[in-house]
Structure 1
């Protein structure tokens, strides 16, 4: 359970570290980055009795230099009550006395502003992820999608609104984890959002989490048209998962590397190995020794390699800090 006093001490130590010049800014061009999803309490969902490893508040995971990016999961519906999005953060914000903005289905999680700012001050990027397995991110047409970019800009990024779910915190971008539906309007939405992002001095990022089968069925054509900064390719729960990394006919990182260099509008896009952090995944989990070998081989062979994505942080912490083993492999 989150303890307020210890959290304040941790936030203070993070800020002191920044003031002392010990924290480097997030660097998307690095090939040693680790992105780990936060928000869904995946470990707690499958280990209800082991509450010690249930999802903690975001700032709890920013006290070391292991994780570089936190996509917050998820914005699950583009339009809900009040014509605003719906977000779901499992046992954080949603549980107990959920607080919604009046007349909407949008959660007011503004108490997380301090967590987000502390993580950013520690040199980490914090984004909002759209979709997930139950996501409904849909637009009727390009016009609606273009207008929606301003909504997201105002709610989560550099704009202004009275209904900002994370209060005064300004996120570092968005992630598209689209696992169903139509791509109608996606290009217009992301193109307009990028225009808004490029107006100021702050650096924003647009990432995606496609499935490893190529091309991805739900966001593939969008990836070919929009200049994403990174793709967190899900090499799990598919025939091309990490469990088949020795079979080059199945393990297809080379295909994604070729796409990054020859098809993506952004030829500097980074391709991450997406992996489950716990054996509970349907398929694709490999132990820390095996993923270390995969990381080192891929990092040395493919120039598009940007790092590793893990699902999710509660699983990683529950699995003997699997994230630490991955980061060690990335850095060596």
Structure 2
């Protein structure tokens, strides 16, 4: 069976998105991933060794230990082209780790990190002198410091054509695969330094080549498991294949966990139970642009009861509120048009703590009553505040012990089992409860005083196979560190790109023995934004929203943040709220429709 049927690749048979690496550039470092031990490297005082764990990618990394007056310097002489620009990069772990190049013929360069902990990427660049044909690249630690680690060291620039140059690229990383239908899958991976093209393998079959970092594969069979790998290629040859990734296509009629949702969906919250400055919007007046409408909010009778109630806004607050019968009829009309309507639990004032099994069971029964009464399609979890407090020492997202988290997971699984595969499950945490776990999970950013940082991670992980959409609120948030080690602030494309890249790439979790939170499928992820400047801090102008979508789905229009892949199957956008979007003249939803060529 051929890898891809005719027309299987998007954009007239080409792998989608992402410009190819310049043909003249190559990764000139030999064994930069230390997959063949110290081959090509010289370490001072016998300080270096190849180790199998921890590694940044592949199966090996360099571990070098300073001793006495030795700083554990490991170096390699590399043939280069005169009067040319080169970029030197490596992933390092440890305190006071240096990366540099000497003998450049111009200004020698180095960069360093002093912060121990997770893997960090160091990058610097230089230009060779007019007569320079060789430089020395190196990494070293510092006197009296513990061992440091280096992996995936690259020197990318013009190929001098000298003996032994260039080397084949390293194996690609970050491969993700998601079924966008019963016969189609979307794949993406991180760009590999020095690669000029890639080969995509399906079940080990003859590969299909292309220059981009993503592909759409069609002609698949429903209810079938496929395994994919990708390799990188340059003039010197082909890299090892990436770590395999498998997916199972659904039986038909939609994607896994996404019954009836379009490939790109718009999600909005509808203020159904309360009034604010945005004004009340009747269900029948919600435009067709909205694919998922979350009813805000179902609220608890008390923080710990688990008893959730929902009622329409009182007529004294919302004079134009419809009757319950009209509301239910409008919901059925939306569903007949292929839309989904969910009950959203929580919100700013709706704290829910399922601290006991009794509260868990009450939660299940009361939420079921709401779903049944209004004929809803599922549940949105919008817990904030102290609803998901972590207990001290509960640091492994794979095995939570905190009752409020364990009971929530159990309750949602019970609801999913009760309503079956058609049950739509979404979550809307803030970045504090998700991405900030990269820095503070289980400890809190203030010396352990706030154990909520990253508190959604165990819930998302335990429910990832049931999860339809995760739309993190990229607003009402302070700056958050991305995978590039830089802090990103709300309101611009880079913030949304960095936060979404973390979800789709996976990220190290602070204090966690599992180290990396696994990536979500792109079809499970939407970006959460406020609809107007009145709706929340961090409003993003439509032009910046477009930039974020372009970068994440096409690898174009990117800013300073470099993503680890390209995800054309990214599900879409969420906003707070439908009401505020109407208040703002429907600017948010109209921009979404324009971007995806929809009429609304």
Q: TM-score, normalised by structure 1?
A: 0.71
Q: Is the 8 A contact 2:474 2:490 kept in 1?
A: yes
Q: Is the 8 A contact 2:535 2:580 kept in 1?
A: no
Q: Is the 8 A contact 1:78 1:138 kept in 2?
A: no
Measured after TM superposition, the shift of residue 208 of structure 1 is: 0.3
Query: Would the alpha carbon gap of residues 272 and 128 (structure 1) be closer, same or farther in structure 2, given more than 3 Å must change?
Result: same
Match of 1:253 among 494, 500, 508: 500
Query: Would the alpha carbon gap of residues 306 and 94 (structure 1) be closer, same or farther in structure 2, given more than 3 Å must change?
Result: same
Judging by fraction of residues, say which structure has more strand: 2
Q: Say whether 1:37 aligns with 2:284.
A: no
Q: Is the 8 A contact 2:491 2:540 kept in 1?
A: yes
Pairwise CA RMSD: 3.6
How many residue pairs match? The answer is: 276
Matches within 5 A, 1:131-210: 131-157=346-372, 164=373, 166=374, 170-183=375-388, 184=404, 185-198=407-420, 203-210=422-429
Query: Would the alpha carbon gap of residues 83 and 133 (structure 1) be closer, same or farther in structure 2, given more than 3 Å must change?
Result: closer
Q: Say whether 1:211 aligns with 2:430.
A: yes
Match of 2:293 in 1: 70
DSSP 3-state at the match of 1:320: coil
Match of 1:274 in 2: 528
Q: Is the 8 A contact 1:32 1:331 kept in 2?
A: no
DSSP 3-state at the match of 1:252: helix
Query: Would the alpha carbon gap of residues 247 and 134 (structure 1) be closer, same or farther in structure 2, given more than 3 Å must change?
Result: closer
In structure 2, runs of 5+ residues without a counterpart are 1-252, 389-403, 438-452, 481-488, 508-515, 555-565
Greater length-normalized contact order (CA 8 Å, ≥ 6 residues apart) = 1
Query: Would the alpha carbon gap of residues 92 and 174 (structure 1) be closer, same or farther in structure 2, given more than 3 Å must change?
Result: farther
Q: Say whether 1:126 aligns with 2:126.
A: no
CA distance in 2 between counterparts of 1:285 and 1:266 reads 25
CA distance in 2 between counterparts of 1:92 and 1:58 reads 15
Query: Would the alpha carbon gap of residues 91 and 37 (structure 1) be closer, same or farther in structure 2, given more than 3 Å must change?
Result: farther
CA distance in 1 between counterparts of 2:381 and 2:519 reads 17
Match of 1:312 among 577, 583, 600: 577
In structure 1, runs of 5+ residues without a counterpart are 1-23, 48-53, 100-107, 158-163
Q: Is the 8 A contact 1:187 1:225 kept in 2?
A: yes
DSSP 3-state at the match of 2:381: strand
Match of 1:325 among 591, 594, 597: 591
Larger radius of gyration: 2
Q: Is the 8 A contact 1:232 1:271 kept in 2?
A: yes
Measured after TM superposition, the shift of residue 71 of structure 1 is: 0.5
Q: Is the 8 A contact 1:277 1:315 kept in 2?
A: yes
Q: Is the 8 A contact 2:380 2:428 kept in 1?
A: yes
CA distance in 1 between counterparts of 2:519 and 2:361 reads 20
CA distance in 2 between counterparts of 1:317 and 1:273 reads 19
CA distance in 1 between counterparts of 2:321 and 2:261 reads 38
CA deviation vs aligned residue, 1:40-68 (integer Å, no higher than 9, x gap): 599x7236xxxxxx222111114x3x111
CA distance in 1 between counterparts of 2:365 and 2:306 reads 13
DSSP 3-state at the match of 1:327: helix
Q: Is the 8 A contact 1:78 1:136 kept in 2?
A: no
CA distance in 2 between counterparts of 1:28 and 1:252 reads 27
DSSP 3-state at the match of 2:525: strand
Q: TM-score, normalised by structure 2?
A: 0.41
Match of 2:285 in 1: 60
Q: Is the 8 A contact 1:32 1:327 kept in 2?
A: no
Q: Is the 8 A contact 2:522 2:569 kept in 1?
A: yes
Query: Would the alpha carbon gap of residues 290 and 247 (structure 1) be closer, same or farther in structure 2, given more than 3 Å must change?
Result: closer
CA distance in 2 between counterparts of 1:179 and 1:40 reads 19
Query: Would the alpha carbon gap of residues 146 and 83 (structure 1) be closer, same or farther in structure 2, given more than 3 Å must change?
Result: closer
